[in-house]
Amino acid sequence: MKMSKTRKNKTKGSKIQLMNRYGFFGVFQTSPATGLLFPRVHVVINNLRYPAYYNIPRGISFGGLDLYNYVGRDIAGTFDQTTSTLTMVGFY
């Protein structure tokens, strides 16, 4: 029996996504010119969607969380392949 990472919920027809671990620099990249971070894929942080390659300036707080304090740490989240969006849940 083959198990997939995404299972279909029979009652609602929606998909249940399993939590995965992602490397920080696999999700974000630093701009060499400005030093700002930008996501390589669409990212959802605290229910706010940021498109790929959108510059995130220093000091922006996502529900009390400054992303620059977590540079280099792995990210916990779910990835939706249909929309190419990573929903961030936390850090390791």
**pLDDT above 70 covers what percent of the chain?**
82
Smallest CA-to-CA distance from 39 within 30, 79, 62 is with 30
Residues 72, 83: contact at Cβ < 8 Å? no
Q: What is the pLDDT of residues 9-53, one digit of tens each?
A: 444 555 667 789 999 999 999 988 888 999 999 999 888 888 998
pLDDT: is 86 or 62 the higher one?
86
pLDDT: is 72 or 65 the higher one?
72
* Domain locations along the chain: 18-91
